[in-house]
Amino acid sequence: MDSKSSSFLFLALFALFSSTSMAFNITRILSSYPDFSTFNNLLTQTGLAQQINSRQTITILAVSNDAVGSLSGKPLDLTKRILGAHVVLDYYDQTKLKNLEKKSSILTTLYQTTGIADNQQGFLNITKTPNGIMFGSAVKGAPLTASLEGSVVSQPYNISVLKVSRVIEAPGIDNIAPSPPPGAPEKAPAPAPTKAKSPAPVAEEPVADNAPIEAPTEAPTPADAPEANAPISSPPEPNSTPADDATAPAVPPSQESVSSRMHAGGIVAVIGLVACMGF
């Protein structure tokens, strides 16, 4: 084998071992520990195992089979949120935890990266107590519920699996609406209900200027009125005599016409009298 081939083989093996040392598979790691089989299966079912394997530095707070029963019967989406808060986005082994300078520290978890964590639900509180190291949710007022029981496996500065006594559940984490499955169309928000307007009373409201005017109802016409379609005749001349109406009563002569007749008759009588006297 020449020197070029030897150099190429060396580089290939170096790259292979380097990539292998940097990568890890949480499913494969936990499969060697039957006491965490339920926890391991839940990581696979929720898709958290794939997200964990894509990280380079991570710490997992694992729960044994006899302590993970509190997750039994919970929806898978809720289980994913709870277990996502058991994955710390940094490397912590027992030695590093015991050497923490502060009595209490806040650790960021994988659940915080989802964008749906609320009120510090995506953070963990780790506190050193006289009874050992305790874990709890960083939500204000949340108790320290889980204690550190030991180390399961560690690969320095890449992955550390620690055993805790029980499941750590952040207050209010079960009240969050489940996220839609990948690729599902977003549901459009329902339109805001509009307040129905009560109809305006017809009798009290004035008619608008531009509103169409309805034709008035045709009033009944008297029997002797002319038909609607008949042509309208012009009014009679002042000196014309109206036609006699058979049903109309006779109109008495006016006082002026009577006095005129009496005056004329008197003149005729005087003339006749003068003629008789021989004037």
pLDDT of residue 193: 52
Tell me the CATH number at 107.
2.30.180.10
| Region of poorest pLDDT, from 71-80, 81-90, 255-264, 265-274 | 255-264
Is residue 182 in some structural domain?
Answer: no
pLDDT of residue 108: 97
Name the residue range of residue 127's domain.
11-169
pLDDT of residue 207: 46
DSSP string, 88-119: ESS---HHHHHT-SSSEEEEEBGGGGGS---T
Is residue 17 in some structural domain?
Answer: yes
Is residue 200 in some structural domain?
Answer: no
Question: pLDDT tens digits for 163-173?
Answer: 999 999 999 99
Please give the Cα distance from 112 to 104 (Å, whole number): 19
Q: How many domains does the chain contain in total?
A: 1
Phi, psi values for residue 117, rounded to 5°: -65, 140
Ordered alpha helix ranges (H), the chain: 3-22, 26-30, 37-46, 48-53, 76-84, 94-98, 255-276
Is residue 89 in some structural domain?
Answer: yes
Is residue 99 in some structural domain?
Answer: yes
Q: Which of the given ranges, 97-106, 216-225, 251-260, has the highest pLDDT on average? A: 97-106
Q: What is the mean pLDDT of residues 99-107?
A: 94
pLDDT of residue 214: 52
Is residue 70 in some structural domain?
Answer: yes
Is residue 3 in some structural domain?
Answer: no
Is residue 196 in some structural domain?
Answer: no
